[in-house]
Amino acid sequence: MNIISRAEWGARRPRSRSTVTWGRRTEFIVHYSEGPTTQSVRSIQDFHMGTRGWSDIGYNFLVDVHGRIYEGRGWLVVGAHAPGHNTSGIGVCMIGQDGDATPAATRSIRALYDEACRRAGRNLAKLGHRDVYATSCPGDQLYAWVRAGMPAEKEKEDDDMPDYVSVGMNARQDLPPGEWVTVNWGKEYADSAHHHWDKGGPSFIIGPARYALTANVQIEGLAPGTELQARVIEHAESGSDIATGPLAEYVASNGATFLHYNVAADMVPKGYRVRFQVVQYGSKTGRITDGSAKGLVWST
């Protein structure tokens, strides 16, 4: 494993440092920088030492999308990356945002994990930052990989790495009574493998694939107590739709009503595209005023 040393990336000297023994290292905590993939390690260090006022860059190691590994504080220096877990946990940061993790990056994070376990003489707990702190870090995509056991990718690299798709609404849609309305996604925040098929359109996952998704929409103009339902459908290229579960039920509240919809795991067959629909059973037309959806997709 090749690690780019502090001297090689032009690190500033730490203001101070305290060390820990391998006996006290029990966790391996994955982060993301939530910045551009091109951000330099030195600029992250400058931010941590300047704006944040820390003694050094917060992480023990950093990894970029090309799989390059950079020495942060190193193996046995107490970090500043997860309050309450800086002595027990080795913090490794992927330079980038949610959806940016590449097979090269996850392979390098896994290599660091294996090396840490070898040095510690036992297995460390595999954690995402959000497991120990109220944060979105390390992003849904990288967190799904951590939860899957940080699979090492060998010959065929993309097998376990989900594609990530994140879309949102950019135009209100009418919601007449008793009529299933398919939500259109006019905004595209991330779509690593072109799952958001028709630009601005409703299909956002393409089969054949396994997927997990969440969708959130805001609905206005309904009388309090109005019943609503949401579901996903599989839309065939031939034009027919198949309703698939789970069907979720809601009741309109005063003012805006927020529908949170979740599919933990499902399959979509070849030739079908996943869409999201809402229906309401009131007496007057409401409006879908905002919404977003995110999917993790394992193409099969």
Q: How far is Cα 175 from Cα 54, in angstroms, rounded to an integer?
A: 51
Sheet holding 3-4, edge to edge: 3-4, 69-71, 61-63, 89-94, 27-32, 125-128
Shortest distance (Å) from residue 70 CB to Zn ion: 16
Q: Read off φ and ψ for residue 45, nearest 5 degrees.
A: -60, -45
Does an H or E element contain 279, and which?
Answer: strand 272-280
Give the footprint of Zn ion on residues 110-129 (CB under 5 A): 129
Asked whether 175 and 148 are in contact (CB, 8 A), the reply is no
DSSP category for residue 22? G
Taking the least distance from each CB to Zn ion, the nearer of 129 and 196 is 129
Shortest distance (Å) from residue 298 CB to Zn ion: 25
Span of 136-144, 195-203, 212-220, 241-249 interacting with Zn ion by CB under 5 A: 136-144
DSSP category for residue 150? -
Q: Which of residues 41, 62, 109, 137 is near Zn ion by CB under 5 A?
A: 137
Burial class (CB in 10 A: 0-12, 13-18, 19+), 173: middle
Asked whether 150 and 36 are in contact (CB, 8 A), the reply is no
Asked whether 93 and 81 are in contact (CB, 8 A), the reply is yes
Shortest distance (Å) from residue 135 CB to Zn ion: 6
Give the footprint of Zn ion on residues 29-68 (CB under 5 A): 31
Shortest distance (Å) from residue 58 CB to Zn ion: 9
Shortest distance (Å) from residue 130 CB to Zn ion: 8
Compose the 178-197 pattern: x for residues touching Zn ion by CB under 5 A, - for all others.
--------------------
Taking the least distance from each CB to Zn ion, the nearer of 139 and 221 is 139
Shortest distance (Å) from residue 29 CB to Zn ion: 8
Q: Read off φ and ψ for residue 251, nearest 5 degrees.
A: -130, 130
Taking the least distance from each CB to Zn ion, the nearer of 31 and 196 is 31
Span of 111-119, 130-138, 154-162, 286-294 interacting with Zn ion by CB under 5 A: 130-138
Give the footprint of Zn ion on residues 2-31 (CB under 5 A): 31
Residues at the interface with Zn ion (CB under 5 A) = 31, 129, 137
